[in-house]
């Protein structure tokens, strides 16, 4: 088949079409985003293109922050914009853009990869251009839109016992005000010539510096930054591969960049609206394929733009929750024992080197912090241990946490603090002894195995529910009593092979008899897109 006789169409992958068996539907599809929770997403995609995480609401939808009416609880609420949100690499979310190349003739067959000499995609930024008077003019209708959105959100939170007729009447009034504000905004935009444009990132002469510039939607010569699209070549050993007989291309969606414009603004931010357009260049015979940009004079074929998207903020709570971080605080008794064996300065690998007249010494009179007086600046080299730095940083954080929340009214952030009491704290020696004996169901001779140091350690273990040692409530003079003591410790401890106590802070202090067993909230299990088995 001579594909030069027919135009090409670059669509979304067949398994993401609304109807995978209808080519007329496929002609209108745009390239699709696929989401992954691993940086090894390319290998996963090559093995099974259809296996990707499902986009869910509201996590993967941009939420607009709106002010709430006074006296209705939190000062701000959120309402869905319906706009796709892409998380950052630091949020443990990664994305591919996937497209499929067809020959636009009856039957909508796939074009062979040999007919393509170049493939890639560009990222476009959607931007509104307006004058200063226009900015002032649109402010009032925008505020009215936000206010009515907040009222609608508040209405949705009302209890179901509210009378239906009154609720419908209130909703009708709010929606009327909302539509009126939208009409006013549209009129102001037309009056002041507010213009909606799409911009491409054009690299400058200096490395890492560029600018967003208005660009033609379907140019035949590309000055913008081009990101590579790679052909999906199926593994012949995989039976019924989703790309079998198909011409699929994929590329890694950039969610961050070190490039900036001349003013230092980043190429990508969490406030702008973006979209992606994919392209392929038809090979122009008899030009040779050189494997570089513009290596022949063939025509560029562009896809429809992807759905518009916005990047998540670096501190997005949903995004940061995808990658939990555990920080184990120093074990003070263990540090004290180690310090006694080390030479002075041996356990202090962090050196703070102060140049001449740059050290800032001070002295205290007793233990009163208000008596601090500065000394003469000089040069100094001071070594500190990493655990000491960690402890000081933790202390300073705890010291200023209530001050900052009180001063700036950040009480809502305390909802994000979650602490659980530890299970029975077993020292390393006890943990090893219990581990050597075996599991809970192990049958053993209590008189022979629970003796000496192990018995003393078990009796000293404190019950977190009562604050009392088990040795004070269990009679260990008989084998049955020793077995009971062993079972108590084994069943209430979470990890017997651990060499350190559970690294969880108890806050607020529970005290004897006040311990409440709690577990960390589990991360939501990832859902995958539905699999499509149609290959026609």
DSSP per-residue codes, 390-412: HHHHHHHHHHHHHHHHHHHT-GG
Q: What is the pTM assigned to this prediction?
A: 0.71
> 109: helix, coil or strand?
coil
Looking at residue 61, what is its pLDDT?
A: 93
Looking at residue 186, what is its pLDDT?
A: 78
> 90: helix, coil or strand?
helix
Which residues have CB under 8 Å from 322's CB, separation 6+? Answer: 37, 87, 91, 92, 93, 523
> Rounded to an integer, what distance in angstroms lies between the CA atom of residue 495 and that of residue 376?
53
Q: Of 301, 304, 308, give the one whose Cα is nearest residue 29.
A: 304
Neighbours of 490 (CB within 10 A): 18
CA dist 91 → 41, 61, 160, 499 (Å): 14, 15, 37, 30
> Rounded to an integer, what distance in angstroms lies between the CA atom of residue 536 and that of residue 534?
6
Tokens of 239: 């039976």
Looking at residue 36, what is its pLDDT?
A: 96
Which residues have CB under 8 Å from 38's CB, separation 6+? Answer: 44, 94
Q: Of 68, 84, 177, 194, give the one whose Cα is nearest residue 131.
A: 194
> 533: helix, coil or strand?
coil
Looking at residue 499, what is its pLDDT?
A: 34
Is-contact 457 427, C-beta < 8 A? yes
Looking at residue 225, what is its pLDDT?
A: 94
Is-contact 154 77, C-beta < 8 A? yes
254-257, long-range: CB within 8 Å, 24+ apart, which pairs?
A: 254/123, 254/227, 255/86, 255/87, 255/88, 255/89, 255/95, 255/311, 256/88, 256/89
Q: Sign of the CA dihedral 529, 531, 532, 535?
A: positive
Q: Which residues of the chain have pLDDT under 70?
A: 1-5, 69-73, 153-168, 193, 290-292, 294-295, 366-371, 411, 414-449, 451, 463-467, 487-523, 534-536
Which residues have CB under 8 Å from 405's CB, separation 6+? Answer: 411, 413, 414
Question: Dihedral of the CA atoms 2, 296, 198, 121 (nearest 10)?
Answer: 70
> Rounded to an integer, what distance in angstroms lies between the CA atom of residue 440 and that of residue 438?
7
Query: Helix 428-437 and helix 479-492: axis angle, to 10°?
Result: 110
Looking at residue 316, what is its pLDDT?
A: 92
Is-contact 115 109, C-beta < 8 A? no
Pairing of strands 230-231, 362-363: unpaired
> Rounded to an integer, what distance in angstroms lies between the CA atom of residue 318 and that of residue 63?
12
**What are the tens digits of pLDDT across the range 436-452?**
655 444 455 666 567 67
Which residues have CB under 8 Å from 376's CB, separation 6+? Answer: 361
Tokens of 303: 């896809």
CA dist 367 → 222, 361, 364, 371, 388 (Å): 69, 16, 7, 8, 19
Is-contact 313 89, C-beta < 8 A? no
Neighbours of 259 (CB within 10 A): 18
Q: Of 252, 259, 251, 256, give the one whose Cα is nearest residue 203.
A: 259
Domain boundaries, the chain: 3-130+197-320, 131-193, 335-361+375-416, 419-520
Looking at residue 502, what is its pLDDT?
A: 40
> For the chain, what is the radius of gyration of the CA atoms?
32
Count the helix, strand and coil residues of the chain and give each as a percent rounded to the nearest 5: 30, 20, 50
Which residues have CB under 8 Å from 75's CB, separation 6+? Answer: 67, 68
- Point out which residues pair with 311 in neighbouring strands: 86
Tokens of 144: 């009215």
> Rounded to an integer, what distance in angstroms lies between the CA atom of residue 130 and that of residue 313?
25
Neighbours of 135 (CB within 10 A): 13
Looking at residue 90, what is its pLDDT?
A: 93
Tokens of 498: 């651990």
Looking at residue 173, what is its pLDDT?
A: 80
> Rounded to an integer, what distance in angstroms lies between the CA atom of residue 29 and that of residue 14?
9
Pairing of strands 230-231, 94-103: unpaired
Is-contact 450 458, C-beta < 8 A? yes
> Rounded to an integer, what distance in angstroms lies between the CA atom of residue 525 and that of residue 442?
34
């Amino acid at each position: 088949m001579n594909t030069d006789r027919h135009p090409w169409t670059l669509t979304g992958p067949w398994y993401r079409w609304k109807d995978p068996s209808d080519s007329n539907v496929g002609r209108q599809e745009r390239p699709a985003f696929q989401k992954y929770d691993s940086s090894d997403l390319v290998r996963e995609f090559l093995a099974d293109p259809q296996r990707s995480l499902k986009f869910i609401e509201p996590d993967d939808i941009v939420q607009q922050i709106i002010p709430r009416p006074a006296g209705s609880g939190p000062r701000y609420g959120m309402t869905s914009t319906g706009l796709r949100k892409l998380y950052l690499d630091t949020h443990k979310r990664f994305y591919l853009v996937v497209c499929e190349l067809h020959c636009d003739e009856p039957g909508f067959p796939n074009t062979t990869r040999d007919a393509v000499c170049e493939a890639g995609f560009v990222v476009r930024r959607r931007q509104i251009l307006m004058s200063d008077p226009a900015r002032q003019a649109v402010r009032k209708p925008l505020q009215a839109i936000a206010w009515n959105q907040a009222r609608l959100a508040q209405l949705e939170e009302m209890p179901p016992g509210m009378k239906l007729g009154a609720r419908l009447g209130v909703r009708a009034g709010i929606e009327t005000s909302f539509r009126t504000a939208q009409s006013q905004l549209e009129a102001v935009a037309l009056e002041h010539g507010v213009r909606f444009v799409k911009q491409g990132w054009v690299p400058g002469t200096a490395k890492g510096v560029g600018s967003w510039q208005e660009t033609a939607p379907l140019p035949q010569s590309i000055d913008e930054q081009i990101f590579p699209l790679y052909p999906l070549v199926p593994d012949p050993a995989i039976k019924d591969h989703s790309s079998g007989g198909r011409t699929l291309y994929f590329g890694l969606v950039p969610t961050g960049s070190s490039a900036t414009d001349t003013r230092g603004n980043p190429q990508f931010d969490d406030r702008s609206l973006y979209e992606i357009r994919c392209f392929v260049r038809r090979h122009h015979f008899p030009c040779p394929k050189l494997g570089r940009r513009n290596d022949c004079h063939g025509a560029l074929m562009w896809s429809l733009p992807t759905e518009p998207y916005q990047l998540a903020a670096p501190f997005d709570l949903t995004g940061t929750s995808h990658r939990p971080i555990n920080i184990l605080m120093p074990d003070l008794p263990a540090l004290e024992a180690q310090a006694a064996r080390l030479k002075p300065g041996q356990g202090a690998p962090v050196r703070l080197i102060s140049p001449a007249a740059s050290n800032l010494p001070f002295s205290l009179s007793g233990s009163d912090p208000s008596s601090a007086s500065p000394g003469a600046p000089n040069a100094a080299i001071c070594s500190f241990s990493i655990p000491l730095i960690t402890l000081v940083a933790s202390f300073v954080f705890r010291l200023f946490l209530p001050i900052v929340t009180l001063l700036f009214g950040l009480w809502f952030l305390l909802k994000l603090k979650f602490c659980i009491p530890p299970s029975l704290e077993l020292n390393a020696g006890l943990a090893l002894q219990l581990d050597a004996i075996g599991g809970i169901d192990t049958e053993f001779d209590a008189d022979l195995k629970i003796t000496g140091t192990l018995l003393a350690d078990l009796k000293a273990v404190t019950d977190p529910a009562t604050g009392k040692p088990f040795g004070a409530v269990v009679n260990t003079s008989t084998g049955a009593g020793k077995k009971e003591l062993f079972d108590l410790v084994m069943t209430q401890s979470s990890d017997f092979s651990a060499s350190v106590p559970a690294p969880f802070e108890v806050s607020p202090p529970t005290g004897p008899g006040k311990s409440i067993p709690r577990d960390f909230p589990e991360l939501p299990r990832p859902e995958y897109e539905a699999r499509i088995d149609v290959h026609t």
